[in-house]
Amino acid sequence: MDCPAPRAVAPLADSERAAVVALCRALADPTRLEIFRLIAAQEAPLCVCDIVERFDRQQPTVSHHLRVLWEAGLVRPSRHGVWVYYAVDPEGLRRLARLGASVLEGAVPSH
Model confidence at 109, in pLDDT bands (50, 70, 90)? low
Segment 7-16 shows an average pLDDT of 84
More confident residue, 98 or 107: 98
What is the structure's pLDDT at 52? 95
> In terms of Cα–Cα distance, which of 58, 51, 49, 35 is closest to 82?
49
What is the structure's pLDDT at 87? 98
What is the structure's pLDDT at 103? 66
Instruction: Specify the number of domains making up the chain.
Output: 1
Domain hosting residue 57, numbered range: 14-104
Q: CATH no. for residue 38?
A: 1.10.10.10
Residue 109 falls inside a structural domain? no
Residue 9 falls inside a structural domain? no
Name the pTM for this structure. Answer: 0.80
Identify the burial level of 64 via C-beta atoms within 10 angstroms of its C-beta, where 0-12 means exposed, 13-18 middle and 19 or more buried: middle
Whether 46 contacts 40, CB under 8 Å: no
